[in-house]
Structure 1
């Protein structure tokens, strides 16, 4: 733990990249991203909670979730739906993530193509999250809306929660 999250922005390619080596074995890292009982423990920034309504991790499968502040958090709840386009076990997830209303109707223009890669690394797993935005302007709005800080906190929570699971007898 105590590792650094590296964040880079590429306006030309409209990409936000978030990378971190977590002290979690590859298989457990994968399970942390693909099992609802795990993802509900860590998805979202600090002081937020996630509720998974559906998680069908296969090409064409959907992941429907809600994130909302807990009693200490600030902000409005967000409903999202991701559709997986590529799933390579232990290695790669690709999905199109979209904000929705509470009835799961997509919010126009909110699509974010997201690539998650899992690579064995010394002491754990290198996680790389690449989010591609529709425009450079959308990428520019990621930081003011809290997405950059949220990703940092999310990966910290991921490592903490999965480390807790790893250390259970």
Structure 2
């Protein structure tokens, strides 16, 4: 029996923050690995219609990362720096290179729910309400939900 969950996406009314929550049928260790191993990350992140190419990946405090989503001749690049990388939490910056001034500070938490289940919580702090609202209007929920569905399948089939 599998339980399909959607990601809860919320905009804080008082601070330019986006919070997301989703439960997975996987351990915190598996979720951490899926977020820090570049080969695994490339398999699940983003919309199903895009292919991900990792160009840089150093998942340690002070390390940086860059990946590119492609579809035909289209390319969408993202980059950032890891500030804290530990089994229960990752803190990193996140920038879409098409909007280089829009840097977010992201925190991801891996909450052990027991019985091989984990709640992933994320928080993205951006520099303005306008920037936050632009992210929300961008269709990001499609990429988030499709990516997390791919990750759930990988956890179920033992790829992670």
| Separation of aligned partners in 1, 2:127 and 2:74 | 23
Render the CA deviation track for 1:22-45: whole Å, top value 9, x for unaligned.
001111111111001101110112
Render the CA deviation track for 1:110-165: whole Å, top value 9, x for unaligned.
21111111010144111011111110011111122111232122212211123222
Aligned length: 157
Task: Give the match for residue 130 of structure 1.
Answer: 123
| Runs of 4+ deviating beyond 3 Å | none
Secondary structure of 2:31's match?
A: helix
TM-score, normalising length: structure 1: 0.84
Contact 1:26/1:119 (8 A) holds in 2: yes
The match for 1:112 among 80, 104, 114 is: 104
Task: Give the match for residue 40 of structure 1.
Answer: 42
Task: Give the match for residue 77 of structure 1.
Answer: 75
Secondary structure of 1:46's match?
A: coil
Task: Give the match for residue 13 of structure 1.
Answer: 15
Q: Which runs of 5+ in 1 are unaligned?
A: 102-106
Q: Which runs of 5+ in 2 are unaligned?
A: none
Task: Give the match for residue 86 of structure 1.
Answer: 84
